Structure 1
Amino acid sequence: METIFDHSTREGLISRINTLNENSKAQWGKMNICQMLKHCTLYEEMMLGKVTFKRAFLGRLFGKMALKEFIQDQNPIKQNVPTLTELKVKEKAGNVLEEKKKWIALLKGYEQVSQPVIVHSFFGELTKEQTGFLVYKHTDHHLRQFKS
Structure 2
Amino acid sequence: MNNIFELIHTEEIVQRIHKLDVHSQPKWGKMNVAQMLAHCSAFQDIAMGNSFPPRSLLGVFVGRMAKSVFYNDKPLPTNMSTIPSVLIEDKKEFERERANLIQKVKTFQKNGPENCTTHPHPFFGKLTPEQWGKGIFKHLDHHLKQFDV
Identity %: 34
TM-score, length-scaled by structure 2: 0.93
In the superposition, the TM-score normalised over structure 1's length comes to: 0.93
Do 1:49 and 1:119's aligned partners in 2 also have CA atoms closer than 8 Å? Answer: no
Note if 1:102 corresponds to 2:113. no
Match of 1:46 in 2: 46
> Hey, which bits of structure 1, 4+ residues long, moved more than 6 A?
none
Structure 2: tracts of 5 or more residues without a match: none
How many angstroms apart in 1 are the aligned matches of 2:92 and 2:28? 20
**Alignment partners' CA distance in 2, 1:82 and 1:70:** 13
Distance 1:25 1:118 in 2: 34
Q: How does 1:100-139 map to 2 (within 5 A)?
A: 100-110=98-108, 111-113=110-112, 114-115=114-115, 117-139=118-140
Question: Mind listing any 5+ residue stretches in structure 1 that lack a counterpart?
Answer: none
Separation in 1, partners of 2:62, 2:134: 19
1:28-52 Cα shifts (integer Å, max 9, x gaps): 0111111111111100011110111
Structure 2 residue matching 1:124: 3-state secondary structure: coil
Mapped to 1, the partners of 2:36 and 2:69 lie a distance apart of 23
Q: CA deviation at 1:70?
A: 3.2
Please say if 1:81 is aligned against 2:75: no
Conserved 8 A contact 1:47-1:119: no
Whole-angstrom distance in 2 between the partners of 1:101 and 1:119: 27
Provide the C-alpha distance between the structure 2 equivalents of 1:70 and 1:46, rounded to a whole number of angstroms: 14
User: Does the 8 A contact of 2:69 with 2:76 survive in 1?
Assistant: no
- What is the Cα deviation at residue 123 of structure 1? 1.0
Shift of residue 118, structure 1, vs aligned partner: 4.3
Q: Is the 8 A contact 2:121 2:127 kept in 1?
A: yes
How far the C-alpha of 1:127 sits from its partner, in A, is: 0.4
Matches within 5 A, 1:8-87: 8-72=8-72, 74-87=73-86
| Residues 48 and 118 in structure 1, CA contact (< 8 A), matched pair in contact too | no
